[in-house]
Amino acid sequence: MIILGIDTSCDDTSAGVVVDGRSVLSNVVHSQVEVHHPYGGVVPELASREHTRNIMPVVEASLLKAGIQLNDLDGISVTVGPGLVGALLVGLYYAKGLAYVLNIPLTGVNHLEGHILSIFLEEDPPPFPFVALTVSGGHTSIYHVEGHGRYTLMGQTLDDAAGEAFDKVAKLSGLGYPGGVAIEKMAQNGACDKIPFPRAYMEKDSLDFSFSGLKTAVALYMKQWREDREPYEQETTLADIAASFQESVVDVLVHKLMTARRRTDAPSVVMAGGVACNSRLREKLSAAARDEGVRVYFPRPEYCTDNGAMIAAAGYYRLLRGEIAGMTADVTSRFPIESLSPQN
């Protein structure tokens, strides 16, 4: 079954063609980084405008790269949430029109489900069950994954997502956007134990996340650091601040994910989403998994960031279950994965 996947949940316009939920024929992504860079973050109105401008050429490029025609498609899968409502609507309306004209089934996909199932685009995916951490600019969540369509939420962010915290600290530091890449690059030259930034582990048994306090702690530290730098140079550098901040985020993510694994006794863990590209996070999670004798799986970087291929993969399994979206289907900014079934 050849599925076209479309994602316009945030600031990347993407489309991918995947066969049987596993074999990627194409995965085209148009980034809006240059558009949003001057503002230090995503501007929803600008994102929607750019999606409208790019959705058609991105889909056409995806089909061309896959070497297929529109009539070769067996179904269309599109992200309907969570995300920016205006951005999501661009993808959904385009997908609806395409499905109607081609007379093929359309299914709506939860963006987080796409991230979880992106690991099945790799040659050696994990067996079920496993515990997955989806960590990106808008989401930080832990799921117990027992099968396709069988997800149990174990923990989620109560305020800022990890990627959002990276963006905000990068903006405070004058490092630009996107923050995750900028912080990681700067941190390479810093000492990760230089500043004891807080780790918000929450209550003893909680698997939820909170990064707003850490962001505030960094902001207060940087204010004092800047005021005290003149007229002489302090020993602490911006690289030290970046590395110490990054280490605080990484420690909490790894601790929570491995705690969830122990509670479920899952034989493996998966980490997906844009922040999963962070090399320090991969390093520390791999070490923690090795210490516990379990396997850890990461999608390759192009499948960690928002992409149409992962939406096509997730849509394939929903279409197999007969979950078809009608022409009255709508988008929503926030909702759990399970709420997509049945679809309207």
Whole-Å CA distances, 254 to 111, 185, 207, 276: 22, 20, 11, 11
pLDDT in tens, 110-153: 999 999 999 999 999 999 999 999 999 888 999 999 999 999 99
Mean pLDDT value across residues 165-173: 93
Indicate the pLDDT class of residue 204, thresholds 50, 70 and 90.
Answer: confident
Which of 5-19, 101-115, 193-207 has the lowest average pLDDT?
193-207
What are the tens digits of pLDDT across the range 267-303? 999 999 999 999 999 999 999 999 999 999 999 999 9
Tell me the pLDDT band of 340, cut-offs 50, 70 and 90.
Answer: low
Average pLDDT along the chain: 93
Cα–Cα nearest to 297, from 125, 143, 113, 111:
125
| Residues ≥6 apart with Cβ < 8 Å to 116 | 132, 134, 143, 145, 151, 270, 272, 314
Q: Is the pLDDT of residue 59 over 90?
A: yes
Q: What is the pLDDT of residue 334?
A: 78
Separation between Cα atoms, residue 17 and residue 59, nearest integer Å:
9
Asked if 76 contacts 98 with a C-beta cutoff of 8 angstroms, the reply is yes
Calpha distance 211→209 (Å, rounded)? 7
* Ordered structural domains, the chain, with CATH: 2-116+303-340 (3.30.420.40), 127-298 (3.30.420.40)
At residue 24, the 3 state secondary structure works out as strand
Confidence (pTM)? 0.93
Give me the phi and psi of 26, to 5 degrees please: -160, 155
* Rg of the chain over all Cα atoms, to the nearest angstrom: 20
Q: Output the pLDDT for position 342.
A: 42
pLDDT attached to residue 153? 96
Write b or e for each residue in 289-304: b if 16 or more Cβ atoms lie within 10 A of its Cβ, otherwise e.
beeeebbbbbbeebbb
- Residues 225-243: tens digit of each pLDDT: 988 765 445 688 999 999 9
At position 197, the amino acid (one-letter code) is F
Could you give the percent of the chain with pLDDT greater than 70? 96
Q: In the chain, at which residue ranges do the beta strands (DSSP E only) sit?
A: 2-7, 12-19, 23-31, 75-81, 106-110, 130-135, 140-147, 150-156, 268-272, 295-297
| Per-residue pLDDT tens over the stretch 16-41 | 999 999 999 999 999 998 999 888 88
